[in-house]
Amino acid sequence: MGPKLDSAMLQNWNLAPFTYENPEGTTFFAPERSCLELADTPQTALAVSIARRSRFLSRTKEAAAGLDMRMLKTPVEGKFIDLRTVSAELPREQRWSLGNAVPADIDGVLFRPAERPTATAIAVLKGQALGRSIQTTHYRFEWNGVRIDRLYPRFSRERRRFLQRRIEMALSWAKAVWRAIWSRRPFTPRRSPTQRHTPEPRTRLAHWRGTGSAPAGHWTACHPSTEHIFKAEVTCSHGHRLTLKGHSISARGQVQPSVICRHPGCDFHEFVMLDNWSHRRAAQTALPR
């Protein structure tokens, strides 16, 4: 019983009934003989649980409330006496005297629960008979102040969080795809340059050798140490600055592919030629480092 017993014993819900005795006793046992009652099916477990919870809440005249309950599934193994022929209607004193006759080396009894007499329940007298419990469905019991009138399965908090994260991930992925599609499509293509072949550039940008950023329709060289990344900086005909990071520039200064200004509302989209590109170094060396 070594490892199985240890893991089951770590689960406090298995031990609770043996640690804290039920002052009202159980179906077959008086309070001083602690036991844990389990049902054979989820349906029976819910019927028993709802009946017990209702009794408890009506005694304290509890106001309307929702109760979250979790269903546990626990393997049971041991020596049990079958009391299923005993009627669930039998008075408590007679049931308790039957339970009192159960020998000490027996792990518990099988019986018919009063809440569902066609089902089987099991009263476990020893924690050692219990295997490791696993959590299954979570349920919400709705107490309306008089009775539990609604019952429905619920996702656990962990499951809800997991689903929320999956939904958020799917949404952000969809948004990214949507943005990627639209950023590749100019909204008002007056001309539609294609990148499949190299047409003669239609726009020539003049070389700006002054200080500060280039005025509209000009390009300016990057520092030689960053030129392999940023290539060159151009200013569109509407005055927006862009770097040609993703482009290639031929020895003649022809830029591939076409240059699209990403500035909101700007319709600049041209094949461009950088004037004086081959002489950029000469111009650069003149600049102070």
**Where do contacts with Zn ion occur on this chain (CB under 5 A)?**
236, 238, 240, 261, 263, 266, 268
**Closest separation between CB of residue 196 and Zn ion, Å?**
24
Q: 186 vs 116, 236, 266, CA distance in Å?
A: 70, 15, 10
Token pair in block for residue 74:
């626990």
Nearer to Zn ion, 84 or 238 (CB): 238
**Closest separation between CB of residue 209 and Zn ion, Å?**
22
Nearer to Zn ion, 67 or 266 (CB): 266
Check residue 103 and report its DSSP letter.
-
Q: In angstroms, rounded to a whole number, what is the distance separating the alpha carbons of residues 219 and 230?
A: 12
**Closest separation between CB of residue 286 and Zn ion, Å?**
29
Q: In angstroms, rounded to a whole number, what is the distance separating the alpha carbons of residues 171 and 48?
A: 43
Nearer to Zn ion, 159 or 202 (CB): 202
Q: In angstroms, rounded to a whole number, what is the distance separating the alpha carbons of residues 27 and 226?
A: 83
Nearer to Zn ion, 69 or 260 (CB): 260
Q: In angstroms, rounded to a whole number, what is the distance separating the alpha carbons of residues 282 and 275?
A: 14
Nearer to Zn ion, 121 or 236 (CB): 236
Question: Partners of 204 in the beta sheet?
Answer: 273
Token pair in block for residue 260:
């699209």
**Closest separation between CB of residue 249 and Zn ion, Å?**
19
Query: What's the one-letter identity of residue 281?
Result: R
Nearer to Zn ion, 164 or 183 (CB): 183
Nearer to Zn ion, 131 or 217 (CB): 217
Nearer to Zn ion, 151 or 216 (CB): 216
Among 107, 108, 112, 121, smallest CA distance to 40 is for 121
Among left, alpha and beta (phi > 0; psi -120 to 50; other), residue 155 is beta
**Closest separation between CB of residue 176 and Zn ion, Å?**
24
Strands 36-39 and 121-124: antiparallel
**Closest separation between CB of residue 259 and Zn ion, Å?**
10
The 3-state DSSP composition of the chain as helix, strand, coil percent (nearest 5) reads: 30, 25, 45
SS3 218: strand
Q: In angstroms, rounded to a whole number, what is the distance separating the alpha carbons of residues 148 and 255?
A: 74
**Closest separation between CB of residue 237 and Zn ion, Å?**
7
Q: In angstroms, rounded to a whole number, what is the distance separating the alpha carbons of residues 117 and 115?
A: 6
**Closest separation between CB of residue 267 and Zn ion, Å?**
8
